Amino acid sequence: MGTSWRCFPRSPVAEGRHLTRRPIEPAALLAAVSDPGLGGAALFLGTVRRGAEDGPVASIEYSAYEEMVESEFDRILAEAGQRWPGGRVAVCHRLGTVPAGEASIAIAAAMPHRADAFAACRFVIEAAKQRLPVWKQEILDDGTRRWRGDPHPGARSPQE
């Protein structure tokens, strides 16, 4: 059984190894990690939310230092491979404008056991939130924009 720790080149899911500007296709991501020898599969979707604490968010525009995101995802997935050998993980992050309710990131993990599949998804999303140079600009119903958090204090965001 082979181990895959990258999004798959030239796939319908992503133009890059881990990045896309098109809607994420969760079924394609799950298919990429599918293996009859792996008994547990998990899928995590991080979606643009519109909630009471977030206000009238219509969409979020994601921008990134793309080359660094790709290489950092490679490192994150390599770390996951060391923690959970024998499994498969694929990740895809969307850039550009993502409407409320749609996925901005998806992680699929297939492991011999379900607990490891859940743990691998959690590991990848937590590492991505901490380490990726991705910036979010919320677009509100009235058209105003606001930058959402700075995951990398001291790093220059695109508006600077």
Q: Is residue 156 part of a domain?
A: no
User: What pLDDT is stored for residue 30 in this prediction?
Assistant: 93
> What are residue 45's DSSP bridge partners?
106
E strands, 6-151, are: 19-20, 40-47, 57-64, 88-94, 96-99, 103-111, 134-140, 145-148
What's the half-sphere exposure (Cβ side, CA atoms, 13 Å) at 56? 6
Query: Cα separation of 97 and 51, whole Å?
Result: 18
In a domain, 2, yes or no: no
Query: Which CATH number do you get for residue 129?
Result: 3.90.1170.40
Q: Does residue 13 sit within a domain?
A: no
pLDDT score at 52: 75
Contact 23, 62 (CB under 8 A): no
Contact 143, 101 (CB under 8 A): no
Residue 83 to residue 97: CA distance in whole angstroms? 34
Q: Tokens for 142? A: 């009235």
Query: Is residue 42 in a domain?
Result: yes
Is the Cβ–Cβ distance between 139 and 59 less than 8 Å?
yes
141 is a domain residue: yes
Residue 37 sits at φ, ψ, to 5 deg, of -85, -5
User: Quick one: pLDDT at residue 9?
Assistant: 37
Upper half-sphere CA count for residue 126 (Cβ side, 13 Å): 8
Q: Which amino acid is at 40?
A: G
How many domains does the chain divide into?
Answer: 1
Domain that holds residue 141: 19-148
Residue 17's pLDDT is 84
Tens of each residue's pLDDT in the chain, 160 residues: 333 333 443 333 344 689 999 999 999 999 999 999 999 999 999 999 997 777 899 999 999 999 999 999 999 999 999 999 999 999 999 999 999 999 999 999 999 999 999 999 999 999 999 999 999 999 999 999 999 875 444 444 444 4
Backbone angles phi, psi at 90, to 5 degrees: -135, 145
